[in-house]
Structure 1
Amino acid sequence: MSTPEERIAELGLELPDVVAPLASYVPAVRTGSLVYTSGQVPIVKGEVAVTGKVGAEVTVEEAVQAARICALNAVAALKAEVGELSRVVRIVKVVGFVASAPSFTDQPLVINGASDLLGEIFGDVGRHARSAVGVAALPRDVPVEVELIAEVAG
């Protein structure tokens, strides 16, 4: 079976550099066997990929892709903390925030973008508990933010 890093390449993706924090925090923290990532936004090569509210300026499809970017950025932060992604025993929990137009209620569909990517990268290890929360606004007017908790070996 291939490693998570190999699966990322097989998906035609490249693990990005860890996104620099936008304020006073670190990208990931390990305590015992758990790693908590900070919320990751859809930044690609230092630039915000998409802005606006889902259900208004941003379509569900665009938001799903943004959630995938957020998840990939979270995986990059996780790898930077633990070295090799094969040390991940389980993605325990994902929390996704969706900047939503007032009538938008499909936040779970948007965060499926992140959940599905984690499943593609980690297989059954990537199956997780999850929350998908609608919010009024997110930093830099991004439509999606994703954080995760992972259990790691050693």
Structure 2
Amino acid sequence: MSASERLAELGLDLPEVAKPLAAYVPAKRVGDLVYTAGQLPLFEGRLLGEGKVGAEVTPTEAAALARQCVLNALAAVDSITSVDQITQVVKVVGFVASAPGFTGQPGVVNGASELLVDIFGDAGVHARSAVGVSELPLNAPVEVEIIVEVGPAL
């Protein structure tokens, strides 16, 4: 089953690619790899949550926001090559704006990781970093970037 078919089966649509907030592109292909810029939990140009995880945002809410970040990252990939060309997810990096003492970053980033496995199966299993940070752009609670391997361009 293709990634597009699996997304439809899950009842998910890829959003429009989020416009860059500064001087960068949403995704860049180098050989067989596509690197995405960090993706915030934006939908239709609106940030879906704000604040620190462990204070204003619960870990469960942040995990759901990480899922939106992944959808935005896949949309960025799809803007330069079809998501159906993804052969495997290589790496995920998740940044979690964390309240003092919050150490549940891996659980938050699981929202992103689990969605990738739901979409790509075994090819969605990846290396990962889950990093706690003091601030993220626009006061976002989470930011996710991915690296995927893709097949030849269609």
State the TM-score bracket (shorter-chain normalisation): over 0.9
Match of 2:94 in 1: 96
Match of 2:61 in 1: 62
- Shift of residue 13 of structure 1? 1.1
Structure 2 residues not aligned, in runs of 5+? none
Match of 1:106 in 2: 104
Number of residues of Structure 1 aligned to a counterpart in Structure 2: 152
Given candidates 81, 84, 87, the residue that maps to 2:85 is 87
Classify the secondary structure of the residue corresponding to 1:81.
coil
Match of 2:47 in 1: 48
Distance 1:142 1:23 in 2: 16
Classify the secondary structure of the residue corresponding to 2:79.
helix
Distance 1:118 1:105 in 2: 23
Match of 1:137 in 2: 135
CA RMSD for the aligned pairs?
0.7
Distance 1:13 1:88 in 2: 17
Match of 2:30 in 1: 31
Give me the TM-score of the superposition, normalised by structure 1.
Answer: 0.97
Distance 1:78 1:123 in 2: 18
